[in-house]
Structure 1
Amino acid sequence: MTKADLRRTALARRMALDAGEVARRSDKLRESLFRQFPVADWQWLHLFLPLQKRNEPNTWEVIRWVWGEDLPLQLAVPVVQPDGESLRHCELRPDTQLTHNRWGIEEPVPDPVTAPEVLPAVLDAVLVPLLAVDRTGQRVGYGGGFYDRFLAQCRPGTQFIGLNLLNEPPIRRIADVLATDVPLTAYITPGRVWRF
């Protein structure tokens, strides 16, 4: 299947989930992340803030857990740049002021004290949004290429972990993978973890 086909069908299935189911499945993703990955060994975790109108996984579950457990893990989140094509990354702290970008996604107001810039080279792991994934770790997102450009800037060994609210295994193959697409190293659904 092509990315466009997968994007359309997966988004429709995800949009059919009610708010309670999104919350329940998001909690399962959080549990799997902390149970199946060496989070305590990481210094920096990058994650996306959820776009609720598209029923994205609620990564605030992960954020609240890190802050509530007082883990030494530092968090970073993306900020879309004015060019509409690139991302900058800022630290997320409890006192970080947030605003909504033009897509309705929360992101930090860049500030040298409460939301300093974080370079991709320092990240130990990145939680990656997606709609579908194949058996080689290639993913389908919304089609903007933001994450492929970003992941290519990370250092070798950074864990790229896809999150999906749908309990779907990787498909056999995405038909139109590009040379610039960056594969995941792992994929979490509410029911299972796959590693590539």
Structure 2
Amino acid sequence: MHRLTPGLYVITEDQDLEFDELLVKTQTILGCNVSALQYRKKNSPYSQRVSEASELKELCRDYKTKFIINDDIELAMEINSDGIHLGEDDITCQQARTMLGDEKIIGISCYNDLNRAKQAYEESADYLAFGAMYATTTKQKTKKASPELLVTAKQHFPVPLVAIGGITPENCQPLLASGADLLAVVNCVYHAKFPDKVIANFYKQIKDNHELI
């Protein structure tokens, strides 16, 4: 089983930034020693996604950051990413494990559903994601989750837990205290004038709750 280290789990912004601008911001973000980068792009031609994901993967290699593909297992296999993140409309964790093998990271969106988390854990998921923890503009339709859910999940599933949804340095402490190992963020870093300062503020909170490698 491949563990993500505690820290920030950054998801690429796919609405407002052109790829060249996203690449520049991503390099700044990766320079802050984040734990993982997820490439999420929903409505672009496959060839474009292959090109962008390949470039981001190489950047992640330079910074020794885990590179995860959102949803698209064909893309994950083609570019040989470190892993894949799957939601409720995607293939199951078990199917992904059969296709990718034991060496790849598989993460599962559990929303606010502990039964879904149990199934994913039993199917060898490497991490479980819960949220939205707070109001978010990244997705139009979200399921609300609570810090208490993280407490229960931590008691039952000994894998890294990722909290997602509207998370900022100012509101992340209850999530970390409840058991979140990683904080998934999008807009608060990609739309920040100084992403490095925002990330530094996150890590002040994270270091109070986790021993970082």
TM beyond 0.5 = no
**TM-score, normalisation: structure 2:** 0.35
**TM-score, normalisation: structure 1:** 0.37
Say which structure is richer in helix.
2
